[in-house]
Amino acid sequence: MSISLSNISKSYKKVKAVQNISFYVKPGELFGLIGPDGGGKTTIFRILTTLLIPDSGTATVAGFDVVKDYKAIRKSVGYMPGRFSLYQDLTVEENLTFFATIFGTTIEENYDLIEDIYVQIAPFKDRRAGKLSGGMKQKLALCCALIHKPKVLFLDEPTTGVDPVSRKEFWEMLKRLQKKGITILVSTPYMDEAALCDRIALIQDGEILDIDTPNAIVSKFPKTIYNVGANNMYKLIKALQHYEHLYSVFPFGEFVHYTDKRDSFEVVDLKSYLEKEGLTDIHIESTQANIEDAFMELAK
Amino acid sequence: MKRFIGFIKKEFYHIFRDKRSLFILFGMPIAQILLFGFAITNEINNVDIAILDHSKDATTEEIINKISASKYFTIKQIIVREADIEAAFKKGKIKAVLNFEKDFSKNLIKEKKATIQIITDATDPNTANSITNYINAILQNYQQSKNKGIQIDYQIVPQTRMVYNPELKGVFMFVPGVMTIILMLVSAMMTSISITREKELGTMEILLVSPLKPFQVIIGKVVPYIFLSVVNASVIVLLSIFIFKMPVVGSLFLLGAESVLFIITSLALGILISTIAETQQAAMMISLMGLMLPVILLSGFIFPVSSMPIPLQIISNIIPAKWFIIIIKGIMLKGVGVTYVWKETVILIGMTLFFIGLSVKKYKIRLE
């Protein structure tokens, strides 16, 4: 296994950051930690990158123990922390050269690995890192984390604060890196990105809710979901919340996702109820559950 | 080794791109040395005094002429009535008043004795003291010249000689002190800030998750500042030699070696501070409050250690700057060799090793 954790727990003073976490990541896998902020994702990253010692449990990265063999791990992993952590007063090229040097390599030696990404920021190579846009910064940080050809890549919320186009590009890059045999552990609060991983762990309040492939997680969803739309979103949610057969309701884009308690659900029933509540332009149709629905259901 | 050089290169980028710290690094030593050299001085020159002459005879005129001829005093005012003395002082310009008694010459001849009252403004005690001493010296000088050829029963003639700084230049005292402060500040504050900055910006997290060993990070931080501090020390020494005509009697090599030792002591302190402080601001506060103040107050830079209360004298021993000031004063002014300052040198080496040992022990290889 590239990464394995068994019964890892970690507390800060009185706050339990993660509790009894166990999972593994296969070599060459793109594994996602999905969950809201404060769920314990960063703590898991820091334990795996040897920055924190777990209170209990064991973990290995690339076959090395995170406590005993921390020096070996530090040589063989790439780490991109959640916060932009490059030298803002150094240029793009200087940053990259610096990280190549401290890992005992050169840009030329591993250029093929970063080429796809680096060509996009190369026009700005003389610009100070602090003056780059959010998406550019992340690309540079990824280059710096990759420059020594790590066996395992840790990316803590790499797309937070990045525009949608750059986010999409970023994930395409991850897919390409995966093909080159690098194991990737990535975390994100964005549920739509979860579907791009091989397997995901849904995590909340320091506990894992479920681990599986995105499809399997979605297919486990027990109910049929209905996209409901109407002229007034706020009134619609209010009305649905008071509906006697309601199981769950969440706003989702321009619609709300509705599930019903009953096994035999008739669209007409709901429609007439909503009309009685004074809503117009009512639109109801069944839809596929997605990761967010699954997460909401598991987090209940 | 290549890693190490890469790291040092990066540090120099940081230093030279941060205009503010560059200004502190090189502007401060020059500003401080000029300030202490020119503005802050204990010497007296052209002090304004007033004369109240009740007798107005040949002798008093002679004495007054002698005083006004010296470069130390300027006679600004002639007072006629006793009652005006206070008003003259209150205006603030006049620092001393010479009050000659009535019938000065007559008394001198008839009774072999005449008095001059010297009244000084002691709001500044040091200056008042100096003024009195200078006037006394002039009067004594005059008396001796008058007594020439006359047989007196016996006489004690003190012959004073001020060694190592015969002109009593204040700048001779300040240069070693300022040099100490600058080296301490640049070395300790700048390194502690530069290490805590990595913590604050999160880059320390990446440095930790890299094959760089902690001592490589620390030495990499320290080397550029050793270099810069040596440049600073040289600038200070050159300024004091060429602008203030300060002699460096002792060996320049020994002075350089001792300075490098003190720079390393300060750097070790800086590293120690950075292991405690989490933010740049905290590091700066600890450096300023914890290092600057003791250096100025307790190192013997301005206030002599021997006249402090015993508890403070004891505390002053743990301040590295105290030992360094003794060393460089000895080398620069007295021209002593290593045989005279080995004890202080050993103390500094001991302190340095202690600080380094403590920082290595406290340095975190993880985030907590």
**Do A173 and A201 fall within a single domain?**
yes
Of the residues A167, A193, A219, which one is the last residue of a structural domain?
A: A219
- Paired with B137 in beta bridges are none
**Do A229 and A91 fall within a single domain?**
no
pLDDT at A224 over 80: yes
**Do B282 and B187 fall within a single domain?**
yes
**Distance from C-alpha of B232 to C-alpha of B266, rounded to nearest angstrom:** 14
pLDDT at A187 over 80: yes
Sequence-ordered list of residues with C-beta below 8 angstroms from that of A45, at least 6 positions apart, any chain:
A79, A81, A82, A154, A156, A185, A187
Q: Choose from B3, B201, B203, B206 for mutation: most chain A CBs within 10 A.
A: B206
pLDDT at A230 over 70: yes
Q: Report if residue B263 sits inside a domain.
A: yes
- The ipTM value here is 0.86
B361 touches chain A (CB under 8 A): no
Residue with tokens 């030992």: B323
Q: What is the mean pLDDT of residues B292-298?
A: 85
Tokens matching residue A185? 């552990």
Residue B140: give its domain's CATH number: 3.40.1710.10
**Do A158 and A91 fall within a single domain?**
yes
Q: Choose from B210, B212, B217, B221 for mutation: most chain A CBs within 10 A.
A: B210
**Do B184 and B303 fall within a single domain?**
yes
Per-residue confidence at A116, pLDDT binned at 50, 70, 90?
A: confident
**Do B212 and B352 fall within a single domain?**
yes
**Do B228 and B356 fall within a single domain?**
yes
**Do A79 and A203 fall within a single domain?**
yes
Kindly state the percentage of chain B with pLDDT values over 70. Answer: 98
**Distance from C-alpha of A214 to C-alpha of A197, rounded to nearest angstrom:** 7
Confidence (pLDDT) at B40 = 65
**Do A12 and A112 fall within a single domain?**
yes
Per-residue confidence at B166, pLDDT binned at 50, 70, 90?
A: confident
**Do B80 and B190 fall within a single domain?**
no
B83 touches chain A (CB under 8 A): no
Of the residues B147, B182, B210, which one is the last residue of a structural domain?
A: B147
**Is A101–B201 a contact, with Cβ atoms under 8 angstroms apart?**
no
**Is A74–B208 a contact, with Cβ atoms under 8 angstroms apart?**
yes
**Do A69 and A104 fall within a single domain?**
yes
Handedness of CA B205, B210, B215, B220 (dihedral sign): negative
Going from the C-alpha of B176 to that of each of A239, B296, B313, B320, the distances in angstroms are 82, 12, 20, 14
Confidence (pLDDT) at A8 = 94
pLDDT at B171 over 80: no
**Do B73 and B28 fall within a single domain?**
no
Residues B253-266 pLDDT 10s: 999 999 999 999 99
**Do B233 and B323 fall within a single domain?**
yes
Greater confidence, B145 or A145? A145
**Do B135 and B30 fall within a single domain?**
no
Select from A26, A30, A7 the least CA-distant residue to A188.
Answer: A30
Residue A242: give its domain's CATH number: 3.30.70
**Is A101–B6 a contact, with Cβ atoms under 8 angstroms apart?**
yes
Residues of A in contact with B7 (CB under 8 A): 98, 101-102
**Do B175 and B324 fall within a single domain?**
yes
Q: Report if residue B8 sits inside a domain.
A: no
Total domains in chain B come to: 2
Q: What is the mean pLDDT of residues B319-348?
A: 92
User: Which one-letter DSSP state was computed for residue B101?
Assistant: P
**Do A291 and A207 fall within a single domain?**
no
Confidence (pLDDT) at B363 = 83
Q: What is the mean pLDDT of residues A172-191?
A: 92
Confidence (pLDDT) at B41 = 63
Task: Give the range of the structural domain holding residue A283, as residue numbers without chain letter.
Answer: 225-299
Residues A245-270 pLDDT 10s: 889 898 888 899 999 888 888 888 88
Q: What is the mean pLDDT of residues B176-185?
A: 87
Residue with tokens 């117009």: A280
Confidence (pLDDT) at B343 = 94
Long-range (24+ apart) CB contacts under 8 A made by B276-284 are B276/B362, B277/B192, B277/B196, B278/B196, B278/B199, B278/B200, B279/B196, B279/B199, B279/B200, B280/B193, B280/B196, B280/B197, B280/B200, B282/B196, B283/B189, B283/B192, B283/B193, B283/B195, B283/B196, B284/B189, B284/B192, B284/B193
Picking from B2, B18, B366, the nearest residue to A51 by CB comes out as B366
* Alpha carbon of A252: minimum distance to chain B alpha carbons (Å): 35
Task: Give the range of the structural domain holding residue B307, as residue numbers without chain letter.
Answer: 18-40+169-362
Q: Report if residue B11 sits inside a domain.
A: no
**Do A175 and A263 fall within a single domain?**
no
Residues of A in contact with B366 (CB under 8 A): 50-53, 70
3-class secondary structure, A212: strand
Q: Report if residue B352 sits inside a domain.
A: yes
Give me the torsion for CA of B309, B310, B314, B319, rounded to 10°: 10
**Do A124 and A269 fall within a single domain?**
no
Confidence (pLDDT) at A34 = 93
Residue A183: give its domain's CATH number: 3.40.50.300
Confidence (pLDDT) at B42 = 62
**Do B189 and B325 fall within a single domain?**
yes
Q: Report if residue B9 sits inside a domain.
A: no
B3 touches chain A (CB under 8 A): yes
Total domains in chain A come to: 2
Sequence-ordered list of residues with C-beta below 8 angstroms from that of A282, at least 6 positions apart, any chain:
A228, A229, A230, A271, A274, A275
pLDDT at B6 over 80: yes
pLDDT at A61 over 90: yes
**Do A29 and A159 fall within a single domain?**
yes
Select from B149, B174, B188, B141 the least CA-distant residue to B289.
Answer: B188
pLDDT at B282 over 90: yes
Confidence (pLDDT) at B30 = 85
Confidence (pLDDT) at B21 = 79
Measured in degrees and rounded to the nearest 5, phi and psi for residue A240 equal -65, -35
Buried b (16+ CB within 10 A) or exposed e, A35-57: beeebbbbbbbbbbbbbbebeeb
Q: Report if residue B1 sits inside a domain.
A: no
Q: What is the mean pLDDT of residues A277-291?
A: 89
Of the residues A201, A219, A237, which one is the last residue of a structural domain?
A: A219
**Do B199 and B118 fall within a single domain?**
no
Concatenated DSSP letters of A125-192: TTSBGGGS-HHHHHHHHHHHHHTT--SEEEESSTTTT--HHHHHHHHHHHHHHHHTT-EEEEEES-HH
Confidence (pLDDT) at B24 = 78
By C-alpha distance, the chain B residue nearest A80 is B206
From the CB of residue A3, how many other CB atoms can be counted at a distance below 10 Å?
24
Confidence (pLDDT) at A212 = 94
**Is A102–B201 a contact, with Cβ atoms under 8 angstroms apart?**
no
**Do B218 and B131 fall within a single domain?**
no
Residues B35-89 pLDDT 10s: 877 776 666 778 899 999 998 888 899 999 999 888 889 998 888 888 888 888 8
Measured in degrees and rounded to the nearest 5, phi and psi for residue B153 equal -60, -55
Q: What is the mean pLDDT of residues B156-168?
A: 78
Q: What is the mean pLDDT of residues B9-18?
A: 92
From the CB of residue A147, how many other CB atoms can be counted at a distance below 10 Å?
27
Confidence (pLDDT) at B113 = 86
**Do A251 and A175 fall within a single domain?**
no
Least confident interval from A94-108, B128-142, B161-175, B204-218: B161-175
Select from A186, A179, A192 the least CA-distant residue to A218.
Answer: A192
A46 touches chain B (CB under 8 A): yes
Give me the torsion for CA of B68, B71, B76, B78, rounded to 10°: -20
